[in-house]
Amino acid sequence: MDKIIDENRQGEVLMMDSDIAEASSKKVYIESYGCQMNFSDSEIVASILSGVGYETTRNIEEANAIFLNTCSIRDKAEKTVRQRISTLRKHKSRNGELVIGVLGCMAERMKHQLLEEEKLVDIVVGPDAYRDLPNLLSEAEDGRKAVNVLLSKEETYGDITPVRLDSNGVSAFISIMRGCDNMCTFCVVPFTRGRERSRNPESILDEARMLLNKGYKEVTLLGQNVDSYLWHGGGLKKEFSKLSEEEKKQSVNFAQLLGMVAEVSPKLRVRFSTSHPKDMTDDVLKVMASYDNICKYIHLPFQSGNSEVLERMNRGYSREWYLDRIRAINQIIPECGISADVIAGFCGETDAQHNDTLSLMEEVRFSFAYMFKYSERPKTLAQRRFEDDIPESVKQKRLAEIIELQMKHSKFRSEQFLHKTCEVLVEGNSKKDDSFLSGRNSQNTTVVFPKEHYKPGEYVQVFIEKCTATTLIGKAVKQD
């Protein structure tokens, strides 16, 4: 009983012993889609549900409740989830008591369709309402439709210890902030995840220490825009200049937080995602350069290589500004791996503007990129202001050109590691061959090498002998 109350410190869920006996036999199956933040949120959901006796299962057949943690970023992501819901409803015809719920961004965007119009699911819960899940589950079990999509100005789930799902026991996510205030015109996230708020640094450090004690060797600090992390005692994001003297005194920005997490232990690698070109400071780069255990890798989406398109996207920077940030990275952290996100065929994009995207890629030569066709999202600023006027065939052609160029650059970047030795944190067996181990080097490139006596969680020096665009292949270097 103590444990259950303790894990729900907000006191929102109080159970009687008899309820616990009944609930403890229950199982929940959670499937996550989309960004790393969603995968991290599912671990918070698992923790909240474990507090009321739900064990997570990987076997959908034995689940009493199934949750899909969903993504709305592109139309295709939503279609995939809708398809999955119809498949899951077949389980319901076998087990009438099965509860099916939608969590995350689609819950926020499509509550009415999912619950009322199409009656596809029993529970709909938005990203800031997971603490309410135990109540919503009991409502659903009583046959009532349950919904909570309230967005919060405060919620960071800072006090909840995530239950690690599908974990390799080596690497874990730590969410450091929620929401986004940026309002990029193409993006649905500010509508589905609400306003930006930062999590108390002490709770972040506690989580990192706890992971280290459990044997984890790497943490990735997560946020939609980690560079604008600013703790000032709680609540919505504020500009540093608008803080009171008291708030300034206790404030912690991202550069400071990164240093604090790196100090937890030199044996704990630190990564972070996602950076924003308009907010990424030299201070962050200097902190990265000064700690060996902060990985030399930055994911810095550029979206377009043309300043006019960037303006229409409301990204808050120009092509020149982006390239200046790249110069700063290369100067302060010469060996840094850089990856990006890019969108092909945004509203009004001309051939010349698309060529600017290609030329920016040529200038930077990213090690990796997530590449997308523009997908118009309902209610976004772009949908209200601009026409989605680039024909599908043109979007496709532009995307293909971007992908082809990126393949060339990924290969180029991989080749830079040939005949060099990298430190690799082993994460598990190689997917292709059980006699090989797989891990990542500091620059986030996958490295595989023969297993010998090495094990997941070990740091191994690997001499790189061969490579593909995405993988380095080598041999462990014996160390005395």
What x/- string results for residues 261 through 290 when contact with ligand SF4 is judged by CB under 6 A? ---------------x--------------
| Residue 449: contacted member of ligand 5AD, ligand SF4, none (CB under 5 to 8 Å, by partner type) | none
The site map against ligand 5AD for 355-394 (x = CB under 6 A) is -----------------x-xx-x-----------------
Least separation, in Å, of the C-beta of 153 and ligand SF4?
Answer: 17
The entry of ligand 5AD, ligand SF4, none that residue 74 binds, CB within 5 to 8 Å by partner kind: ligand 5AD
Of 373, 372, 371, give the one whose Cα is nearest residue 392.
Answer: 373
The pair of structure tokens assigned to 216 is 């984890």
Cβ at position 339, least distance to ligand 5AD in Å: 11
For strands 446-450 and 471-476, give the pairing: parallel
- Give the one residue of 98, 136, 140, 187 binding ligand 5AD; rule: CB under 6 A: 187
Instruction: Check if the beta carbon of residue 229 is closer than 8 Å to that of residue 162.
Output: no
Q: Residues 127 to 186: which contact ligand SF4 by CB under 6 A? A: 180, 182-184
Given a contact cutoff of 8 angstroms between Cβ atoms, the answer to whether 443 and 435 are in contact is: no
Told to check if 187 binds ligand SF4 by CB under 6 A, we report yes
Q: What CA–CA distances, in Å, run from 332 to 171, 289, 291, 327?
A: 26, 7, 13, 9
Binding to ligand SF4, residues 304-323 (CB under 6 A): none
Residues 207-266 within binding reach of ligand SF4 (CB under 6 A): 224-225
How near is the Cβ of 183 to ligand SF4 at its closest, in Å?
A: 6
Of the pair 165, 183, the CB lying nearest ligand 5AD is at: 183
CA distance 344 to 393: 11
Q: How far is CA 195 from CA 151, 154, 156, 198, in A?
A: 8, 9, 11, 10
Q: Which of 303, 406, 441, 443 binds ligand 5AD (CB under 6 A)?
A: 303
Options 29, 130, 157, 186; binder of ligand 5AD; rule CB under 6 A: 186
Min separation Cβ 274 and ligand 5AD, Å: 7
CA distance 107 to 187: 16
Q: Are strands 65-70 and 99-104 parallel, antiparallel or unpaired?
A: parallel
Nearer to ligand SF4, 74 or 111 (CB): 74
Report the first-to-last Cα separation within the chain, whole angstroms: 51
Out of ligand 5AD, ligand SF4, none, what residue 231 binds, judged by CB under 5 to 8 A for its kind, is none
Residue number, 165 or 183, with CB nearest to ligand SF4: 183
b/e map 5-18, b = 16+ CB within 10 Å: eebbeeeebebeee
Task: Name beta bridge partners: 273.
Answer: 222
Q: How far is the CB of 417 from ligand SF4 (least distance, A)?
A: 30
Which of ligand SF4, ligand 5AD, none interacts with 13 (beta carbon under 5 to 8 A by kind)? none
Which listed residue (63, 73, 257, 268) binds ligand 5AD by CB under 6 A? 73
Residue 104 touching ligand 5AD (CB under 6 A): no
Quote the CA–CA distance of 343 and 350 in Å, as a whole number: 13
Q: Which is nearer to ligand SF4, 50 or 225 (CB)?
A: 225
Q: Which candidate, 377, 417, 464, places its Cα nearest to that of 105? A: 377
Q: How many CB atoms lie within 10 A of CB 296?
A: 19
Least distance in Å: CB of 433 to ligand SF4? 37
* Binder among 51, 179, 201, 301 for ligand 5AD (CB under 6 A): 301
Give residue number: closest CB to ligand 5AD: 341
Residue 220's binding partner among ligand SF4, ligand 5AD, none (Cβ under 5 to 8 angstroms by kind) is none
Q: How far apart are CA 7 and CA 163, in angstroms?
A: 11
Q: Compute how many other C-beta atoms are within 10 angstroms of the C-beta atom of residue 196.
A: 22
**Comparing C-alpha atoms, which of 165, 250, 179, 164 is closest to residue 210?**
164
* Closest CB to ligand SF4 among residues 302, 417: 302
Binding footprint of ligand 5AD on the chain (CB under 6 A): 73-74, 186-187, 301, 303, 341, 343, 372, 374-375, 377
Binding footprint of ligand SF4 on the chain (CB under 6 A): 180, 182-184, 187, 189-190, 224-225, 276
